Amino acid sequence: MSLPIIILLIVIGAVVVLLSVVVVVAFVRSRRLAKVPALPPPCKCPACGSEQMDVFLSGLWDGEDSAGRGTGGTSQIGTCKSCGVHCQHLSVWDNDTKESRYESRVLTDEQWQRETGSAMRRQREASEQPFITGGQNHVA
């Protein structure tokens, strides 16, 4: 095979992979939106069992399960008011049972910083420049 054909095949392969990822994400999103209204159970601290949590971040996430199928759900990251550990509560779409299940885990300092770092940076920038109107002149 000549080089241009190999490059062409690689490009086609990349496009196919990209398209399938987009389709899977769109499929998971639309299915999740149809199911979302079920309220998750109260967040329990994985370390001490307290339901009192200072939620720092909450939102949606997308990913893959252990079999490589698209999954996702809601995510809450916060600090336990009782024992002070950082923890994350996730709802995870289970492709086998076709239901969301819920997981709690303790975050290490490193994970906490990775999860919250960009949000903290945004908050700091917003508080330093409270009166931004229109376009930003200085992009860091």
As separate numbers, helices (DSSP H) first and strands (DSSP E) second, the chain gives 2, 4
Q: Give me the least distance between CB of 75 and Zn ion, in Å please.
A: 18
106 binds Zn ion (CB under 5 A): no
| CA distances to 39, 49, 79, 82 from 86, in Å | 22, 13, 4, 11
50 binds Zn ion (CB under 5 A): yes
- The alpha carbon of residue 123 and the mean position of all alpha carbons in its chain are separated, in whole angstroms, by 18
52 binds Zn ion (CB under 5 A): no
Of the candidates 91, 40, 92, 38, which has an alpha carbon nearest to the alpha carbon of residue 64?
92
Alpha carbons 59 and 75: distance in angstroms, whole number: 5
104 binds Zn ion (CB under 5 A): no
The first and second tokens of residue 22, run together, are 């987009």
75 binds Zn ion (CB under 5 A): no
How many residues interact with Zn ion (rule CB under 5 A)?
7
83 binds Zn ion (CB under 5 A): yes
> Which residue's CB is nearer to Zn ion, number 50 or number 75?
50
> Which residue's CB is nearer to Zn ion, number 24 or number 47?
47
Among 24, 25, 47, 57, binds Zn ion (CB under 5 A): 47
Residue range at the interface with Zn ion (CB under 5 A); choices 31-39, 80-88, 102-110, 112-120: 80-88
The torsion defined by the Cα of 29, 34, 36 and 38, in degrees rounded to 10, comes to -160
